[in-house]
Amino acid sequence: MTPKKSLSGSMTSGNPFRLILLFSLPLIAGNALQQVYNMADSIIVGNYVGSTALVAVGGAFPIIFIMSSLFMGLGIGSMVMVSQFYGAEDFDNLRKTIDTIYTFLICAGIPISIISALCTNPILDLMSVPEDARSEAYIYLIIVLSGLLGSLGYNANTGILQGVGDSKTPLILLALACLLDNGLNLLFVLVFKMGVAGAALSTVIGQMASWIFGIFFINKRYPMLKIRPFSFRFHKAAFYQIMKLGLPAGIQNALIGIATLLLTRLTNLQGSVFAAGISGANKLDTFAFLPIVSFSTAATAFTGQNIGAGKVERVKQGVRATIIISLCFSALSLLVIPFGPQLLRMFTPEKDVIESGMVFLRTVMPFYFLLGILYILNSVIRGSGESIIPMITVLIGVCVVRLPIAHLIEHYWGAEYMFYSYAIGWICSLSIVIPYYLSGKWKGKGITALSQAMNAADMGDGVM
C-alpha cells in the first residue's frame, strides 16, 4: 500500500475552519479564472463584433452545460469515491477508480461531442434564439460542442485532484487554459477578424491544452495517481458506484441546464436588447456564485475524507464552518448591485442593455445567502454517499418551482420581475434538504465497504 505521506491534502485532522478555507481559496481563484475564461468571449465579441454576437455567446452556456452534465456528474461521483478511498488509505482501489474514469471518458466523450454538434440546429430552435443572432449562435455552438472533450477531460482531472485534497493544481491548469484562450481570442477576433468563430476556437484550444497538460502534470507530481488514458482498464464495481453517486448529480446538472435553457428562451422572447442585458448580468452573477461553488466543493471533499476515515461527527464541525464562511462571502456579493452599471459596461456600451442587466442583479443578488446554505448542505449529503436527496431538491426548486413561477410572473407582472422565481425556488429546496440533514440519515451512506466488492470483482470478470 502506498504511504499516505506521498500526498498532501488530508482533511481528517486539524481545524475544520482553517482546512476548508485553505482548500477553498485556490478554488475561488480557479473559478474566478474560469469565469474570466468565459467572460473573455463575451467582452471581446460584445464590444468588437456586436450585441447579437453577445446574445450568441451568452445563449451557448446552458446548451454546453447540458451536454456536459453527464460528465460533470461523473466528476462529482469520482470526487466522492476518491475522497473516501483516500480517507480510508485504500490506494489500490483509488487507482482502479481512476482507470475506470478515464476508460469511460475516452469511450463515451468523443461520441457525445459529435452527437452534440449534430443537434445544434434543433437546440437553437428550442431556445427561440433571436433571428438576428441565429447564424452567429450556430457557428459558436457547433465549434465549441465539437471540441467538448477538452472540457470533459479537465473536469475529470479536477475531480480526481480535489478528492485527494489538492485544490491548487486545478488552478494551475485553469490558468494555462485562461491565458491561452484570452491570447488566442484577441488574435482570432481582433487581428484575424474571425468573429464568434474565433472566440469559439480559442475556447476549444485552451480547454484541450489544459486537459492534456494536466495529464502529464498529474503523472509527474502524483505517480500514485498515474493516469493512463488508453489503458482501457474498466472495473465494473467501481463504475457502478461512480454512476450511482454521479448519475443523480449529472441529472441534477442537466435539469439546471434545461431549466436555464427554457428560462433563456423566455428571456430571448423579450428581444435582443433584454436578452443581451441578461446575458451580461449572468456573467456577473456567476462571479458572485464562485465562492458558493468553491465552499460546497470543499464541503464534499471534507465530508468524503472524514466519512472514509470513520470520523462522521467531525463532518458536522465542517458544516458549521463552511456555512459561516459562505454567509460572509454572500454578504460581500451584494456589492455587485451598486457597481452593476459600471461592471456591465465591460460587455456593452448600450444604455438599454445595461438597464436590462440590472433587472436581473437587483432581483437575484439579495437572496444569495439562501443558495449558499442550500449548496453546502447538498454537498455534504452528496459527500457522504447519498446522491438522490440533492437531486430531488434541485428537481423541486428549479423545475417544479422556479420555471413555472418565472412564466407566471412574466405573464401577469412583466419580465422585470420574473427573476424573483430564483429565491422562491431556493426556499422550497431548503424546506427539503434542511430536515433531511438534521435527521442524520446521511451518516450511514459511506462507500468504503465498496473495496471488498471491487477486489472480489477483479478476481472474477470485473476488469475489462
310-322: per-residue pLDDT in tens? 788 888 899 999 9
Evaluate if pTM is beyond 0.75.
Answer: no
Question: Could you please report the per-residue DSSP string of 41-70?
Answer: HHHHHHHHT-HHHHHHHHHHHHHHHHHHHH
Q: Mean of the pLDDT values across residues 415-444?
A: 89
pLDDT at 461 over 80: no
Question: pLDDT value at position 323?
Answer: 92
Question: Could you please report the per-residue DSSP string of 362-393?
Answer: HHHGGGHHHHHHHHHHHHHHHHTT--HHHHHH
What mean pLDDT value characterizes the chain?
79
pLDDT single digits (tens) 226-256: 888 877 788 887 888 788 777 787 777 777 7
Question: pLDDT value at position 429?
Answer: 94
- Assign residue 195 a region (left: φ > 0; alpha: ψ between -120 and 50; beta: otherwise): left
Let me know how many helices (H) and strands (E) the chain has, helices first: 18, 0
CB contact at 8 A, 230 and 106: yes
Distance set, CA 6 to CA 67, 154, 218, 418 (Å) = 36, 23, 13, 52
The full length of the chain comes to 464
Helix (H, G, I), strand (E, B) or coil at 346: coil
- Which residue type sits at 254? A
Domain ranges across the chain: 13-447
Q: How many Å apart are CA 252 and CA 272, to the nearest integer?
A: 29
Type and span of the H or E element at 7: none
Q: How many Å apart are CA 414 and CA 424, to the nearest integer?
A: 17
pLDDT single digits (tens) 120-142: 777 777 666 667 777 777 888 88
DSSP secondary-structure letter at 212? H
Q: Mean of the pLDDT values across residues 269-277?
A: 80
pLDDT at 457 over 60: no
* Triad 212, 214, 217: Cα angle to 5°: 120
CB contact at 8 A, 203 and 41: yes
Q: Mean of the pLDDT values across residues 57-85?
A: 71
- Segments in 119-195 forming alpha helices (H): 120-127, 131-146, 148-163, 169-185
pLDDT single digits (tens) 405-426: 999 998 899 888 888 999 999 9
Least confident of 25-34, 38-47, 89-98, 334-343: 38-47
pLDDT at 180 over 80: yes
Distance set, CA 282 to CA 42, 62, 355, 360, 425 (Å) = 11, 11, 13, 8, 18
Q: Mean of the pLDDT values across residues 299-305?
A: 85
Q: Mean of the pLDDT values across residues 97-118?
A: 83
Question: pLDDT value at position 115?
Answer: 79
pLDDT single digits (tens) 186-228: 888 788 888 778 888 888 898 899 899 888 888 888 777 788 8
**Long-range pairs, 169-175, Cβ under 8 A, ≥24:** 169/214, 169/217, 169/218, 169/221, 170/26, 170/27, 170/30, 171/26, 171/27, 171/29, 171/30, 171/33, 172/217, 173/210, 173/213, 173/214, 173/217, 174/30, 174/33, 174/34, 174/37, 174/210, 175/30, 175/33
Question: pLDDT value at position 445?
Answer: 62
CB contact at 8 A, 78 and 242: yes
Question: pLDDT value at position 62?
Answer: 60
Question: pLDDT value at position 3?
Answer: 41
CB contact at 8 A, 161 and 218: yes
Question: pLDDT value at position 64?
Answer: 67
Q: Mean of the pLDDT values across residues 255-271?
A: 77
To which residue does cell 485532522 refer?
Answer: 13
